[in-house]
Amino acid sequence: MTEMTTSAQHLQVLALTVFLVCAAAVTPAALAQQQQLPGCPDKCGDISIPYPFGIGARCARGQYFELECNRAYSPPRLIVSTHRQHLVNLSLADGEAIALINAKRQCYNSTEGLVTDANVNKEVTLYGSNAYRFSAARNRYVALGCPNMGYFVDGTGFYVSGCTSFCRPSQGSGASGASTGGCTGEGCCQSRIPTNTDYYEQYIQTFKPGEGDPILRGGTTACRYVFMAEDKWIDTTYRDTPMFNRTDDFAVPVVLNWAIRNVANCDIAKRNRTDYACQSDNSGCVDSIDGPGYRCNCSQGYEGNPYLIGGCKAYLLELVLS
């Protein structure tokens, strides 16, 4: 009896092992099939497009989540249909998107003096798509170059944030090792942004030759920049090697928080089950952290897409053990 029991246990363990190996192999594909509506593209190049986002009106939850896949570029570019921002990542779990936005630049040249780059608008806007806000927790305003006072105003023309960067003479001349590292005021400074921001104008107030205290004009770089950028990008880029003397155009990653914003919060959203975005039975609602609105998450023990009917699936391991 003992030998038979042991053999049966071994067979059960073997069967369970085989099942788990097979399950692990099919789980990603199974989940991937749950990310978009039937017949709708789920990728633009290498970027996944989960519902409520979609290519075109039929595949998105309303106009605020409509995207375009511009295949004129290699790789293709994912573009927000309303405000035309270029997205490089979309996350359901975090409620975030990452956009690439050009920095505003002013540079000296020998004939015209200080010249502003005409190809970069002073306005950066998310107007036209109510879904997005610039993340107050994940982004910073940055002024780069010396001497440079970068500041930002809102849609009503009021100042919202800014900072001033200066360089030692050796920094301005391009010498390496002059900075203590980090975007902390020497060649690069940063400041926080307010919550619920969907628009800003970026300005550069420079010190021309002969203006201001000579001590503050001790180091001068050829170009100055202002931009909003993801905090991790700032820490990585300006942590070890000073790049204060760059003169090229460049785009920076900016984190956007997105949410269902046709109502203020979850309590109100749940009153209208017809329009309620959390469609999976195994999902829950969380209030937006930047502005009004809400997002949906799969319940604990489930994963997938909470915005689709049946989109949240139980972990296979839990199914087996149960």
DSSP state of 299: P
Q: Please state the domain extents for the chain.
A: 98-258
Query: What are the phi and psi torsion angles at 201 (to 5°)?
Result: -115, 135
Q: How many other CB atoms are there within 10 angstroms of residue 25's CB atom? A: 9
Q: Write out pLDDT tens, residues 31-63.
A: 445 699 999 999 999 999 999 999 999 999 999
Query: How far apart, in Å, do the first and last CA atoms of the chain sit?
Result: 27
* Cross-strand pairs, 297: 284
Q: Are 252 and 260 in contact (CB under 8 A)?
A: no
pLDDT at 193 over 60: yes
Lookup result for tokens 């956009």: 99
Tell me what the pLDDT averaged over the chain comes to.
Answer: 83
Lowest mean pLDDT among 197-201, 212-216, 263-267, 293-297: 212-216
Least confident of 11-25, 146-160, 229-243: 11-25
Predicted pLDDT at 285? 98
pLDDT at 254 over 70: yes
- Look up tokens 């990653």; give the residue: 253
What share of the chain has pLDDT > 70, as a percent?
73
Q: Above 60 in pLDDT, residue 22?
A: no
Question: Is the model's pLDDT at 164 over the cut of 80?
Answer: yes
Q: Identify the CA nearest to 150 among candidates 189, 196, 100.
A: 189
Rounded CA separation 171/146 (Å) = 9
Q: What is the mean pLDDT of residues 194-206?
A: 90
Residue 322's pLDDT is 52
Q: Which residue has the higher pLDDT, 236 or 53?
A: 53
β-pairing, 66-70 vs 54-55, is: parallel
| pTM as predicted | 0.83
State how far Cα 48 lies from the chain centre.
14
3-state helix, strand, coil in the chain (%, to 5): 20, 35, 45
Say which range, 49-53, 79-83, 134-138, 208-212, has the weakest mean pLDDT: 208-212
Residue 47, both tokens: 């970027």
